[in-house]
Amino acid sequence: MPYCSRCAAPLKDSALESCWHCLIRFAPESKWTVVDDPPFKFQQAPSSNATEPWRAPRLGVFGRAIIAIPVWLVLAVLAILSVAPYGGSHPLVTLWLLSTLVLPVWVLLPLMSKRR
């Protein structure tokens, strides 16, 4: 079985132009070639799934809504409780009003970035 001389990945055939794993090209002028014996034990890097680089899992709109709705409700309850006995304004009311504006934007961000 042929192997990549750079990363020791097993190759399907020795006529390949490049390595599927480390993506180097096997050219006559390249110092990396296809070899019959692996130069070392092949270990696929956990961070490289061949071509797909690892990406942090991103929260979808529903995932964000599940977080945002309780946060908004808790802030609303705190804001109401902080104001109810006295009336007037309180930093929590400002925070709640701010969250009313910011949380929907944050929840809908994945939709906006997908359209770009």
User: Torsions phi, psi of 104, nearest 5?
Assistant: -60, -35
Closer of 4 and 68 to Zn ion (Cβ) = 4
| Contact status: 68 vs Zn ion (CB under 5 A) | no
Determine the Cα angle at 48 with ends 35 and 109, to 5°: 155
Nearer to Zn ion, 25 or 58 (CB): 25
Bridge partner list, 10: 3
Return the axis-axis angle of helices 61-83 and 91-115, rounded to nearest 10°: 170
In angstroms, the CA 24 to CA 71 distance is 49
Region of 1-9, 33-41, 43-51, 84-92 interacting with Zn ion (CB under 5 A) = 1-9
Is 95 a binder of Zn ion (CB under 5 A)? no
Q: Please tell me whether residue 21 binds Zn ion under the rule CB under 5 A.
A: yes
- Closer by beta carbon to Zn ion, 22 or else 59: 22
By CB under 5 A, tell whether 64 contacts Zn ion. Answer: no
Q: Which H or E element spans position 93? A: helix 91-115
Give the nearest distance from C-beta 96 to Zn ion in angstroms.
Answer: 55
